Chain A
Amino acid sequence: MTNVSVTVNGQSREADVEPRTLLVYFLRETLGLTGTNVGCDTSTCGSCTVLVDGESVKSCTMLAAQADGRDVTTIEAMAHGDTMHPIQDAFHRNHGLQCGYCTPGMVMAAASYLQENPTPTEEDVREALEGNLCRCTGYQNIVKSILDAAGSMSGAPETTRA
């Protein structure tokens, strides 16, 4: 067993886990935070994306032990009560999801990317989503949602960005 102590969504959480415990299962099974989905389990689809120290990471490809002492943010922390995060709100308004399975990962990948580049072009957004697969939407409305979110988060009028 190895002791893992992580700040998850602002709260410090601690558990003794097997060293082979992957971060995604630590979040889902040890902590009961099931918002983060497992899609491929082979580092490809990005549905398990969470933020570690503010940066997007595929949590199926990281040991919980690697996140020890770090700050992890999952989809559960994005909304405040009934108020959605601007990225979630943009996905809602732009029909950025169909089945919704990829959405938590898409939102977290977008949150990481918009911090790095608050004013992306459409091409930038498409490249930033290289590690996130969606089997439903054809990406069009996901890209639109993220551009919209970038606009509302940086205060620019949405229509000039969508």
Chain B
Amino acid sequence: MIPAAFEYARAESIDHAIELLGGADDAKILAGGHSLLPLMKTRLAQPSLLVDISRIGDLSYVREDGDMVAIGALTRHHDVANSELLQQVAPIVADTASRIGDPQVRHVGTIGGSIAHADPAGDMGTVMVALGAQFAISAAAGATRTVAAGDFFQGLFQADLAANEVLTEIRVPKTSGGWSYLKFNRRAIDWAMVGVAAVQQNGSAAVALTNMGETPLRAAGVEEALAGGADPATASARADEGAAPPSDAFGSAEYRREVSKVLVRRALEETLG
């Protein structure tokens, strides 16, 4: 399968990328290409211009920033997974990255691409929502802004990111409490049919769900029950409150609702136990 024809341009810097993106109405950023190229090969996406940002030198890093950890948008899943800093102070991020796709995918796909793509079946967005991560975005004329993960995901493959903006950095809080990211699938290579991220932070637990709606979702009912003193088994019964899971070849919406309750209970037992 061959993508439709397009022009290719390589960005030297963030500003250069933003300038190049102005070159066509339907221009797209290319990071690892591990979400975009499969869509282009099946012609579900046919951008007329790809702006390759993967050679921008200084967007691949993991570093301490006070009580946060800053991760460059071009950091590959492989490097996120193997970052000793993340393993120590934000282990849910490293662990989740180590279970995205397969080794070949992790050698190319980036954390920024994963988040910007806003795929409801993607793992990293859910973890970001549970952690309350912050995303740094660069726009035209040197403008920058920061968006909270909870506000970033707006719909199916839709993020708060204009066509000529670049996600540059992901900032996650350091965590010292329990955590868990569980995903349920039938075959090792499948994406999460349902996923659950749970993080214990400052005495309370944050819980978020993968593939239970058009965006990563906060499991507000579960969090409320836990805050009221409920145990994991009781709280997890509210896992699918406010969710709108899809029905597809992998499972019906009803099935996903049931799976989400079981996974939330297991994730809470791991996190709080």
Contact = CB atoms under 8 A, between A and B. Distances in A.
Contacts of A57: 104, 107-108
Contacts of A132: 102
A20 B4 contact: yes
Interface residues of A, number: 30
Interface string B21-38: 000000000100110011
Interface string B1-14: 11111111010000
A24 B169 CA distance: 32
Given A2-B8, A62-B33, A62-B37, A130 B103 contact: yes
Interface string A50-80: 0010011110011101100000000000000
Contacts of A58: 104-105, 108
Contact of A65 (B8, B38, B41): B8
A63 B8 contact: yes
Contact of A20 (B5, B102, B108): B5
B62 interface: no
Given A44-B189, A63-B33, A20 B6 contact: yes
Q: Is the interface of A mostly helix, strand, loop or mixed?
A: mixed
A103 interface: no
Interface in A1-42: 2, 18-20, 22, 25, 41-42
Given A63-B33, A65-B52, A130-B188, A112 B103 contact: yes
A91 interface: no
B246 interface: no
Contacts of B33: 61-63, 66
Contacts, number: 80
B209 interface: no
A137 to B, nearest CB: 17
Given A19-B6, A61-B33, A61-B34, A43 B103 contact: no
A118 to B, nearest CB: 15
Nearest to A131: B102
Interface in A79-100: none
User: Of residues B1, B8, B33, B54, which shows the largest number of chain A Cβ atoms within 10 Å of its Cβ?
Assistant: B8
B2 A20 contact: yes
Contacts of A20: 2-6, 40
Interface in B92-130: 101-105, 107-108
Interface of B: 1-8, 10, 30, 33-34, 37-38, 40-41, 50, 52, 54, 78, 101-105, 107-108, 188-189
Interface of A: 2, 18-20, 22, 25, 41-44, 46, 49, 52, 55-58, 61-63, 65-66, 109, 112-113, 128, 130-133
22 contacts: A19-B6, A19-B7, A19-B50, A20-B5, A22-B41, A42-B1, A43-B38, A46-B102, A55-B78, A56-B104, A57-B107, A58-B108, A63-B37, A65-B52, A109-B103, A112-B107, A128-B103, A130-B188, A130-B189, A131-B102, A131-B103, A133-B189
Given A61-B38, A131-B104, 5 more contacts: A56-B103, A58-B104, A58-B105, A109-B104, A131-B101
Which 3 residue pairs of A and B lie closest in terms of their CB atoms, listed nearest first? A131-B102, A19-B8, A130-B102
